[in-house]
Chain A
């Protein structure tokens, strides 16, 4: 009886499925542009512009050197600063809020949740003009702190909703058990609840990092030179005097790298998040 399901799943795994082929094609379809970008980044401009495109060439780091020479450093630092700090702020504000809205609900919990959601309903384009005026009036135009504030408020509702769903998975009795064991609220949250939702925190942080890192609209409208972030900097390569594919690819690869690294590191945590059900 106990071995039956195992053999069934084994047989299933071995069987050829046309859907597997479809899945592979779709997966390759997603992966190919990224692969091509990375490949092109290692080409000379001459190799990059050929038609049909060259698959074999002598790889070079010239384009990356060019990107650094053109001053990617400040843009990278701006992006790191705005992304890192805003994500940190979002977690500091959002995790306690989500905890309160899930494990300690009060009368207006639903309304509060809806309020968070509603802040995402207005198209940013509709708000950019007043935002510009406000940012200008408080003297934060072309200042990275403006983006820190905006990215924090942009990601906070998402983080609250995401974290809330993770907190809802935690059985409320755990808090009660800890409290009967003599733990203060802070102690039971730190020792019992937080370790359980840490995969959720990792996932939420990753989403915030991705959204903040790739954010373009605020950055392009509210910054110029000093506070320029990576997406804005990248646009500079899609400009005027002809297409320079190789150097654009190198810059884009550089821009994608931090997010890919974050995803890579978060992966272990995220996978552990999937086995969350083992709690009960």
Chain B
């Protein structure tokens, strides 16, 4: 078990114009579960592979337990990794797969068998120990990959999209199992995913990356409530936050033909910033249908999920707004309705050019 520190760590791919990972700084506590999340090409996997020693640290450094890992080969880093396609050894049985690292360390066969059986019990794999990976289902292979990692009791777990090859239901189930297992073992874990739901539900803290650069590193609730910029705001949450860039008026901002009113302190922030336009962000669940006031929109689609419904609407030229409403919503396709902020609704303000949070 150990802390992990990324210090201005960068990775340059040959012939690439930008850095795959650009001066990444992360301080990961001992026993913490950290999720790296971002769209494809954000450098999240590269950042993880740098930690595992599978990519070079071209600039800066990465420390595990206070020791600089630059130039240390993977095999000497005491890291276990779960790969997206599991990378199980096809010619070895489940037990041999799980025990391979211990065998390499010279652990006796009896001891090895004991540890493998313990791990197999935790992961419900006992009856499959003598099978080859080809004879297992996707979910079982995933568990073997987990087993191979936990048997070793490493300093750090690295997980590279370990759930992306599972079907939706199994993914949700395994998600909670992995999180629970990690809490129990208390092993520092870095987990890569493109799925913001996984990030939100599993991580103690989440690092959002884009284009190789860290956007925000915070707890899930902080990412949700106080996104540092428009990208994080739009990336975290489902359906995504409404982000609209619109001109500022005397009492709010102009959306289409109507005005979304802002609070006085919000107007003050905008005045201080001296902007003519602003990007606002409002989460769908913080918009509601109203009789009067608010923004006039036309309904494009009603998505009734049973427990709630989402209205996909547009206001004027190309401005789209999504609002949550009660299920069996009264709004119908092509209706003109009015949306307003809920009483406790928050409007996030971002700089229209830089996307940085204002206030």
Contacts and interface: CB of A to CB of B under 8 A. Distances in A.
Interface of A: 171, 173-174, 176-184, 187, 191-192, 195-196, 278-280
B90 A187 contact: no
B81 A280 contact: no
A179 B74 contact: yes
A182 B89 contact: no
A192 B83 contact: no
A182 B87 contact: no
Given A176-B81, A182-B104, 9 more contacts: A171-B85, A176-B74, A176-B87, A177-B87, A181-B100, A181-B104, A182-B75, A183-B75, A195-B91
B75 A180 contact: yes
B267 interface: no
A171 B87 contact: yes
A174 B91 CA distance: 11
A173 B134 contact: no
Interface in B132-164: 134, 148, 152, 158
B79 interface: yes
B74 A192 contact: no
A177 B90 contact: no
B303 to A, nearest CB: 29
B78 to A, nearest CB: 8
Nearest to B99: A181
Given A181-B101, A278-B134, A196 B91 contact: yes
Contacts of A178: 89, 100
Contacts, number: 65
Contacts of A183: 75, 100, 104
24 contacts: A171-B85, A171-B87, A174-B89, A176-B74, A177-B88, A179-B53, A179-B54, A179-B74, A179-B75, A180-B52, A180-B53, A180-B74, A180-B80, A180-B81, A181-B80, A181-B104, A182-B76, A182-B101, A183-B75, A183-B100, A184-B75, A191-B89, A278-B134, A279-B134
Contacts of A184: 75
B105 interface: yes
B73 interface: yes
Contacts of A191: 89, 100
Nearest to B100: A181
Contacts of A278: 90, 134
B75 A173 contact: no
Given A176-B54, A180-B74, A196 B104 contact: no
A5 to B, nearest CB: 19
A187 B104 contact: yes
Contacts of B90: 196, 278-279
Given A182-B101, A187-B104, A278-B134, A177 B89 contact: yes
A174 B87 contact: yes
A182 B105 contact: yes
B85 A280 contact: yes
